[in-house]
Amino acid sequence: MKVLETNFHRGWGGQPARILMVAEGMARLGHDVTLAVPPGSILAQKARAAGIRTFEAAHFRHPRHVLRALADRRALARHLAEAAYDLVVAHGSQDLWTAALARPAFRNGAGPFPLAYTRHNTKQVRDHAFNRWLFRRVDHLIVVSGSVLPRFEPFFARGDLRRERVSVVHSSYRPERFHPGLDRSRFRAEIGAADGAPLVGVVGRLVADKGQDDFLRAAALLRPRRPEARFVLAGTGTAEPSLRRLAADLGLGDAVRFLGFRDDVPEVTASLAVSVLPSVDCDASSAALKEALACGVPVVATEVGGASEIVRPGETGLIVPPRDPARLAAAIEALLDDPGRAAAMGRAGSADVAARFTPDRLVAGTIAAYEEILARRTRPA
């Protein structure tokens, strides 16, 4: 297959990480993959380093910036006319709009190649005339967990999208980086964690959707009962100033550490006694959950998005309601109070994610979806 994958993100996160993983896997199997990404984006840099071809003439601006969006549309349209792709797959809303507008259309509204859309999160999809127009031009929807599908219910009901043209393909993690047996001593020494002091942490962008404020409130509830515990937040983001103020207001003092951006996320993750995902929105197929479990670390996650499709409650971790710091604190404490049970959950989790969420399974599932799309194009009407 000759495939163009588009993405408007300039930074790094789960979405561009999955795109790169799929592109590398497909290229290894002999497929011709190009990534259309903004110039200067981290995905562009990583793709070039991995030997993946990039197209960087479109910035994928928001449609409200009309003149710039039209320039992106012209640039992508020229490229599509020259490259003759079998399939175009958009991964974000802004690049989906650009691709839909740039694709040459026949009289019936179809294009010379299928347009697929991969939805990576559970954020609300607004039901208005513009989106109805847009999704009628999507030939196939790929979602990263079943939790995404309810967001598209109005479009299914009306026929803007067709239920039989949907694939569910979970994201993966990198088993060569996240696995049991990673060194924990260096990171513990770096932050001055005393012997036997449990570390409880959240790994991810510091943004409102991730719910780190609830994690800090849970830490404040735990501190009187587990004064030896230490709490860490790895990542950066727009919510960091407000989270630092909240930690100070809660009197957490040196019990909490903001780690910032880390290159050694596997070692940080492996050092945790409990990994927490306190999300309140957005996480459809959390990489942080899979990575913690892969390292043998039990997890506590909120019942948001695809968490219950990754965690086996009571076997590999615990699931609690979102926006409930007391329940979150109780679940963390339950694992800290029973190290034997926590270790058993970690072992079970490591084996489970290694069986279900490998890069090979992600690539195979993606290729199967793409082949289904192309086969439908070649069948007689």
Query: Do residues 369 and 277 both lie within one domain?
Result: no
Measure the CA–CA gap between 345 and 318, rounded to whole angstroms. Answer: 10
How many domains does the chain divide into?
A: 2
Would 268 be classed as within a structural domain? yes
Show the domain range for 196.
Answer: 185-356
* Alpha carbon 65 to its chain's center: 27
- Residue 142 host element (H or E): strand 140-143
Q: Which residues pair with 229 in a beta bridge?
A: none
Is 142 part of any domain?
Answer: yes
317, 288 contact by CB (below 8 A): no
13 assigned to some structural domain? yes
* Residues 6+ positions from 65 with CB-CB distance below 8 Å: none
Q: Do 17 and 125 belong to one domain?
A: yes
> What is d(CA 375, CA 105) in angstroms, rounded to the nearest whole number?
20
C-beta neighbour count of 48 within 10 angstroms: 13
Radius of gyration of the chain (CA): 22
Asked if residue 180 belongs to a domain, the reply is: no
Are residue 216 and residue 347 in the same domain, yes or no? yes
Q: Which residue has the tokens 């562009």?
A: 44
pLDDT in tens, the chain (381 residues): 999 999 999 988 889 999 999 999 999 999 999 999 999 999 999 999 999 999 999 999 887 778 888 999 999 999 999 999 999 999 999 999 999 999 875 444 456 789 999 999 998 999 999 999 999 999 999 999 999 999 999 999 999 999 999 999 999 999 999 999 999 999 999 999 988 899 999 999 999 999 999 999 999 999 999 999 999 999 999 999 999 999 999 999 999 999 999 999 999 999 999 999 999 987 899 999 999 999 999 999 999 989 999 999 999 999 999 999 999 999 999 999 999 999 999 999 999 999 999 999 999 999 999 999 999 876 544
Q: 197: domain CATH number? A: 3.40.50.2000
Q: What is the pLDDT of residue 108?
A: 45
What is the three-class DSSP state of 230?
Answer: strand
In the chain the first and final C-alpha atoms are separated, in Å, by 22
Report the C-alpha gap between 150 and 241 in whole angstroms. 34
Question: Is 135 part of a structural domain of the chain?
Answer: yes
C-alpha to C-alpha distance for 317 and 135, rounded to whole angstroms: 37
The verdict on 226 and 104 lying in the same domain is no
- pTM recorded for the entire structure: 0.89
What CA–CA distance (Å, rounded) separates 137 from 36? 19
Closest CA to 292 of 205, 188, 201: 201
Q: Do 203 and 106 sit in the same domain of this protein?
A: no
CA distance 161 to 167: 12
One domain, residues 133 and 116: yes
| 350 & 223 share domain | yes
Q: Does 155 share its domain with 230?
A: no
Task: Please say whether the beta carbons of 261 and 205 come within 8 A.
Answer: no
Q: Is 178 a member of any domain?
A: no
The reply to whether 308 and 261 lie within a common domain is yes
- Three-class DSSP category at 356: helix
Give whole-number Cα distances, 105 to 70, 100, 108, 115, in Å.
17, 9, 8, 11
HSE (CB half, 13 Å, CA atoms) of 262?
20
Residue 179 lies in a domain: no
Beta bridge partners of 258: 233
Q: Distance of CA 32 to CAs 202, 267, 361, Å?
A: 37, 35, 19
Query: Cα(226)–Cα(312) distance, rounded to whole angstroms?
Result: 26
Token couple for 364: 């195979």
Contact 106, 137 (CB under 8 A): no
Both 275 and 364 in one domain: the answer is no
| 201 shares a domain with 105 | no
230/371 same-domain check: no
pLDDT score at 105: 55
